[in-house]
Amino acid sequence: MELWKQLLLNGCVKLFWKDEILYQFIADISQEGFEIYIFDCSKWNSRNYHKDLASVLHFPNYYGKNLNAFDDCLSDVVPDGIGFVLVFKNYDIFSKRDPKVAYDILDIIQNNSWRFLLEDIKLIAFVQSNDAKIDFPNLGGMSVEWNNKEWLDQNRGL
């Protein structure tokens, strides 16, 4: 079974702790024809994260720099391949600064992922955390799960 199918089985947002596992997943999913967009969230706060999102995702100049605008512009992204992966590094740092917005971004991604599937486009989010205990409430009615290599607590040093 293709990796993207395994990843989307229980929602599009997957958590990562170890960089080497994250980068292996990025390499593997790239081989399946996915475009990769990487964000370093370590310096994100409630005022500046939109600039990074708009720049990396090539949002139009009229991007409104709010979560509704993020939802609208994300839904307009058209990948060259079969889909795209949004990689959020150091997301735990941003999540501690602004937990509601950090959750809302992932929720918007989850909801857009389901809509994209209707158009035969795949959207996946890889969320890297330096906190092995990070957890989020259900997104789009789906739970956020650890990737299959770090699913067990012992594989995250816990």
C-beta contacts of 42-47 below 8 A and 24+ residues apart? 42/89, 42/90, 42/93, 42/94, 44/93, 44/94, 44/97, 44/98, 45/94, 45/97, 45/98, 46/97, 46/98, 46/101
Which residues is 76 bridged to in the sheet? none
Tell me how many domains the chain contains.
1
What per-residue confidence (pLDDT) applies to 91? 98
Instruction: Reply yes or no on whether the pLDDT at 1 is more than 90.
Output: no
Select the more confidently predicted residue: 8 or 106: 106
Instruction: Reply yes or no on whether the pLDDT at 124 is more than 90.
Output: yes
Instruction: Reply yes or no on whether the pLDDT at 139 is more than 90.
Output: no
Domain holding 42, by residue range, is: 3-156
Half-sphere CA count of 123, side-chain side, radius 13 A: 22
What per-residue confidence (pLDDT) applies to 143? 76
What angle do the packed helices 67-74 and 49-56 form, to 10 degrees? 10
pLDDT level of residue 9 (50, 70, 90 thresholds): confident
- Report the pLDDT averaged over residues 111-139: 94
What's the pLDDT tens digit per position in 49-108? 999 999 999 999 999 999 999 999 999 999 999 999 999 999 999 999 999 999 999 999
pLDDT level of residue 141 (50, 70, 90 thresholds): confident
What's the pLDDT tens digit per position in 17-53? 999 999 999 999 999 999 999 999 999 998 899 999 9
Query: In this structure, what CATH number is given to the domain that contains residue 76?
Result: 3.30.370.10
